[in-house]
Structure 1
């Protein structure tokens, strides 16, 4: 169970990204978690497998651990990946179109005295035309308070926490990742080895959520290989989501041309058939030690100039003697 006291911590519980122009108005503390009809249970999230047209009934526990009473909004929303691969839910006021729309809580407002928990039923109705694969969202508890910003103005600040909802609809599952927009560039040093900068975008092209393990290396035309640094595993990408990766491989020979390669092994957080295939991509770039080339050109120009200055010049011709007739 995740409890969050301040605005920033409440936001981090879901990976939410919101501006922080003001401080939270008070220390109200609340949380949500899966539950039975009687009490919170041990599940970390809501996870279901269902067929189109199925109806799933479940419960969420909404708790207030502060001494003061609190009034919370409770609702369902859709999830998405942030640019850095984090997990987020649609901001309040944005209408969900997927599993958040299919989920309805019995109470949209819960009044909780201090140190109490309420069990709120909700129903997830899978449309008959729901597409196969993973649909992700969350059940959210939200508190809006009044705060003062840096200019002394009163503003509304929303704190929210949530429990994730993972729904897998039966049918044709197509797990897959792709590597797009692969770039490589080489920067050499005056003497010795250089660095190859590598960038690429990993896209979830399938219909199930996937993470991945990734490895980058650089090869020269004659077969020498330089491994890149150890990269963190890719975060769990929802279908259609992307994650941009930037890294650098040091110690690369200035071999004229080098090829940067990336290998990604997909990781499925939930068993899936068929298993997702590994993905490879590459890009070739010039690997010339340009600082050294520039230095050599300067030296060559200096030597040529010096040689030209030392080259003897032809003597001026003597004036012709005047012819005096006898």
Structure 2
């Protein structure tokens, strides 16, 4: 179990840190070509017993100004000497939800939990062949450290290869569970459609939220899938962008998608977005066809109207006609005769 020390026991702690790491002989084991030949893990209750006593990570908890202690086991399974360097690092979420380490902030009182670690004289450890070294380390919590979880890791480095061991570090005090769902959107169409959303941990403890999706269309509920098979580990202050496949997305509909996220203690958050599903390609071909059909109908209408235009009839009393060979009576050659009747010639001077 982790030990809790007060600042009054610094002298004893310093002696422990300056002591040489305990070395234990282990059986030789051939290392695979792609393996470094050494491992790093939390030390079990006794240095020799790993089966059944191994821990997957460190768990440390204490009040502000406390000094916490634990031990790391480094095992060299090869026939040559290994030199491993140790450091602490803060951990956080990547954009896609993974957990990664960050460089430690400088200064003993920095807010970055990676700067709280100390390995004393054992910061660089030389491990003989086929040997296990148990290295003590401490975590000094700053007096002004805020309560809640401070994810961290112990990083071991040798010849450019790093191995990290998670440290679940909690500062005693009030805890707050709070998260939000943001930026819900539907991307893609058909079998490639996905629902994208962002989860933000606004509390001070790590969460394992389980998102659930629901979609309502114009004609009722639309199947959109269930909960994620594995919960996401959302660290304090973490912000992750997730996507859920939606291979059964509708072809033509207006859908409101709601993402609801619950955590084990009962806290819940939700957000929604509206998406239109329109087969734009088919709509484009349909529109082009209707436009072409309308153009054809309009052209046909103008053609029919042109053919049905009425002719002008000659007025009553017209006597002129067109002469094929020389012209019309009283009119110029090759042109139609005047439509008005020719006046009668009077004999001037004759009595009537």
TM category (shorter chain) comes to 0.7 to 0.9
Q: Does 2:105 correspond to 1:123?
A: no
**Which residue of 155, 158, 161 maps to 1:159?**
161
**Which residue of 70, 88, 99 maps to 1:87?**
99
User: 1:173: Cα distance to partner?
Assistant: 0.7
Cα 1:265–1:233 shift into 2, 3 Å = farther
Cα 1:73–1:251 shift into 2, 3 Å = closer
**Two-structure CA RMSD over aligned residues (Å):** 3.0
2:263 partner SS = strand
Q: Does 2:276 correspond to 1:286?
A: yes
Cα 1:317–1:94 shift into 2, 3 Å = farther
User: 1:122: Cα distance to partner?
Assistant: 1.1
Alignment check: 8 A CA contact 1:77 1:99 kept: yes
Q: Does 2:299 correspond to 1:299?
A: no
Match of 2:21 in 1: none
Distance 1:261 1:212 in 2: 15
Unaligned runs of 5+ in 1: 10-26, 145-157, 189-193, 268-274
**Which residue of 128, 139, 147 maps to 1:113?**
128
**Which residue of 35, 39, 45 maps to 2:47?**
39
Would you tell me which structure has more helix in proportion to its own residues? 2
Match of 1:137 in 2: 152
User: 1:181: Cα distance to partner?
Assistant: 1.4
Distance 2:177 2:214 in 1: 25
Larger radius of gyration: 2
Matches within 5 A, 1:1-326: 28-35=36-43, 39=47, 41-90=53-102, 95=106, 97-106=111-120, 107-144=122-159, 158-184=160-186, 187=189, 197-228=194-225, 231-253=228-250, 256-267=253-264, 275-311=265-301, 312-313=304-305, 314-315=308-309, 317-318=311-312, 321-323=338-340, 324-326=342-344
Distance 1:121 1:185 in 2: 50
Distance 1:47 1:78 in 2: 14
1:231 partner SS = coil
Distance 1:184 1:74 in 2: 45
2:97 partner SS = coil
Write out per-residue CA displacement over residues 236-266 of structure 1, whole angstroms, 9 at most, x where no aligned residue.
1211112211234244445652101112222
Write out per-residue CA displacement over residues 122-154 of structure 1, whole angstroms, 9 at most, x where no aligned residue.
11121221111101111221112xxxxxxxxxx
2:241 partner SS = strand
Unaligned runs of 5+ in 2: 1-28, 315-337, 345-352
Distance 2:144 2:206 in 1: 20
User: 1:94: Cα distance to partner?
Assistant: 6.7
2:286 partner SS = helix
2:339 partner SS = coil
Distance 1:45 1:250 in 2: 38
2:299 partner SS = helix
User: 1:187: Cα distance to partner?
Assistant: 4.1
Alignment check: 8 A CA contact 2:44 2:55 kept: no
Write out per-residue CA displacement over residues 287-315 of structure 1, whole angstroms, 9 at most, x where no aligned residue.
33433433332332233223223331232
Q: How many residues align?
A: 280
Distance 1:169 1:325 in 2: 124
Match of 2:328 in 1: none
Alignment check: 8 A CA contact 2:67 2:140 kept: yes
Alignment check: 8 A CA contact 2:225 2:246 kept: yes
Distance 2:65 2:290 in 1: 79
